[in-house]
Amino acid sequence: MAYDALLEEAEKYGAEVLENSRMRKFSGLCVGNVIVINKNLNQNEKTCVLAEELGHYLVTVGNILDQTKTENRKQEFIARRWAVRKLIRLEDLFKAYKAGVRDKAELAEFLNVTEQFLDMAIEHFKNIYGLYCRFGNYIIGFDPLMIYKRIEGE
């Protein structure tokens, strides 16, 4: 999902998204229904940050800036998990494979995300499916990330 589409979705949910070039400490911040994104980020970075902040807006509560607290770390995890589900699906990995994408940098670009976000998504999928999962006649492996066609009878 591209940044512009996420902006439209945020609006539908009642969130106001602002970009600010003076943000230094955070890439993004959600306070009430206002999401602030660092304007100095590139488009893929903005997409990832907006997805996570929209996750905070929709599924977490309260001030969770102090990440030394277990409950706050849990809230952060919930928002990140929401962002991954919003931006990357197994079908997207398969589409990238079919499009000839062959390495992590190309895959991140194909998906309009950062490599760091892609790594987080792969960990998310590993936590759900284990080291691999079936996708139609294919196997998607998560460690290392690869897709290959299943041999009939497997």
pLDDT in tens, the chain (154 residues): 889 999 999 999 999 999 999 988 889 999 999 999 999 999 999 999 999 999 999 998 777 778 888 888 898 899 999 999 999 999 999 999 999 998 999 999 999 999 999 999 999 999 999 999 999 999 999 999 999 888 765 5
Please state the three-class secondary structure of the chain as a single string. CCHHHHHHHHHHCCCEEEEECCCCCCCEEEECCEEEEECCCCHHHHHHHHHHHHHHHHHCCCCCCCCCCHHHHHHHHHHHHHHHHHHCCHHHHHHHHHCCCCCHHHHHHHHCCCHHHHHHHHHHHHHHHCCEEEECCEEEEECCEEEEECCCCC
Domain ranges in the chain are 1-87, 89-154
User: According to CATH, what is the number of the domain 1-87?
Assistant: 1.10.10.2910
What's this model's pTM, rounded to 2 decimal places?
A: 0.90
